[in-house]
């Protein structure tokens, strides 16, 4: 199925376009309902305070549809992406069949991350992008300054990740290179070599984790400052109802959850990019 093709996210999408299309379509539908919930909850609050049950009933219907769509997508995902893992894994083993078993084993495990990205991270990215856009639009409907603060925080988060992306690529490469040696080290059975290998894995993982902690710490400082400002502005500078204040705070918080997913997705893409280069190497290459 992947004969003479580069193994990548793009080739997976082209080969399994129907399965990916169904998954992403369901994701968009699910996200559309999800991003509407804070607004529906705000209307329900104001409606119930005025003894009007209609907005509350619309909220209940939206939540029931969201549950059905979410369960249905996950049932479909398990089967569709399971087939992708089988086909991609066979292609990876074929490419590495003349090389060391250690390398083939490591690349087989790494290749599963490409499918996992399409199954898990890609829908999250779709949801995050849509939620960011909708959140900014709805915040703008309340006041332009609320939207400007959110947009500025998102841009700052992306710039912060962009500055560190090169380091993430290098650290992931070093971790993957060490992982490729694992089977050979275990086959050797030398305790000192095994200990050195495990220590090297730990060292690479710690360096990667430390970088993530610093980067995401900086990003969260910016996003939480945005949430605090919007809460203060909605409560003190606008003549808003309790339901409207709830919606503003909810969309600001949803914006934080969505905006932080974008750098996380970029980090996953950085790792996937390094893995793609590695699994497409011919078996005689180092």
pLDDT score for 17: 85
**Higher-confidence position of 241 and 75:** 75
Boundaries of every domain in the chain: 9-279
By CB neighbour count within 10 A (0-12 exposed, 13-18 middle, 19+ buried), where does 146 fall?
buried
The pLDDT mean for the chain works out to 81
Rounded Cα distance, 107 and 16, in Å: 21
Q: At 3, is the pLDDT very low, low, confident or very high (cuts 50, 70, 90)? A: low
User: How many other CB atoms sit within 10 Å of the CB of residue 75?
Assistant: 10
* 74-88, 154-168, 267-281, range with the lowest pLDDT: 267-281
Q: DSSP per residue over 243-259, as a string?
A: HHHHHHHHHHHHHHHHH
Side-chain-facing half-sphere of 18: CA atoms under 13 Å = 2
| Sequence-separated (6 or more) residues with CB below 8 Å from residue 151 | 136
As its CATH architecture, domain 9-279 has: Up-down Bundle (1.20)
By CB neighbour count within 10 A (0-12 exposed, 13-18 middle, 19+ buried), where does 54 fall?
exposed
Q: What percent of the chain has pLDDT over 90?
A: 1
pLDDT score for 28: 84
pLDDT score for 224: 86
Q: At 285, is the pLDDT very low, low, confident or very high (cuts 50, 70, 90)? A: very low
pLDDT in tens, 216-254: 888 888 888 888 888 888 888 777 777 778 778 877 887
**Higher-confidence position of 270 and 17:** 17
């Amino acid at each position: 199925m992947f004969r003479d093709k580069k193994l990548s996210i793009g080739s997976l999408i082209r080969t399994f376009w129907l399965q990916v299309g169904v998954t992403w379509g369901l994701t968009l539908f699910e996200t559309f309902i999800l991003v509407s919930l804070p607004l529906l909850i705000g209307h329900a609050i104001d409606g119930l305070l005025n003894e009007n049950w209609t907005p509350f009933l619309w909220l209940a219907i939206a939540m029931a549809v969201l549950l059905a769509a979410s369960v249905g997508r996950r049932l479909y995902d398990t089967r569709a992406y399971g087939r992708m893992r089988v086909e991609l894994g066979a292609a990876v083993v074929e490419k590495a069949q003349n090389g060391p078993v250690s390398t083939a084993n490591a690349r087989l495990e790494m290749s599963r991350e490409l499918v996992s990205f399409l199954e898990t991270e890609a829908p999250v990215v779709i949801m995050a992008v849509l939620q960011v856009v909708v959140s900014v639009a709805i915040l703008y409907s309340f006041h332009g300054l609320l939207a400007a603060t959110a947009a500025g925080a998102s841009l700052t988060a992306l710039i912060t990740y962009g500055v560190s992306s090169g380091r993430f690529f290098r650290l992931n490469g070093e971790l993957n290179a060490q992982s490729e040696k694992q089977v050979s080290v275990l086959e050797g059975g030398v305790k000192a070599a095994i200990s050195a290998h495990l220590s090297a894995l730990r060292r690479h993982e710690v360096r990667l984790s430390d970088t993530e902690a610093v980067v995401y710490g900086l990003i969260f400082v910016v996003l939480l400052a945005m949430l605090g400002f919007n809460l203060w502005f909605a409560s003190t500078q606008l003549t808003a109802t309790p339901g409207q204040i709830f919606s503003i705070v909810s969309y600001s918080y949803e914006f934080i959850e969505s905006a932080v997913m974008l750098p996380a997705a970029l980090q996953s893409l950085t790792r996937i990019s390094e893995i793609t280069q590695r699994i497409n190497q011919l078996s005689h290459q180092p």
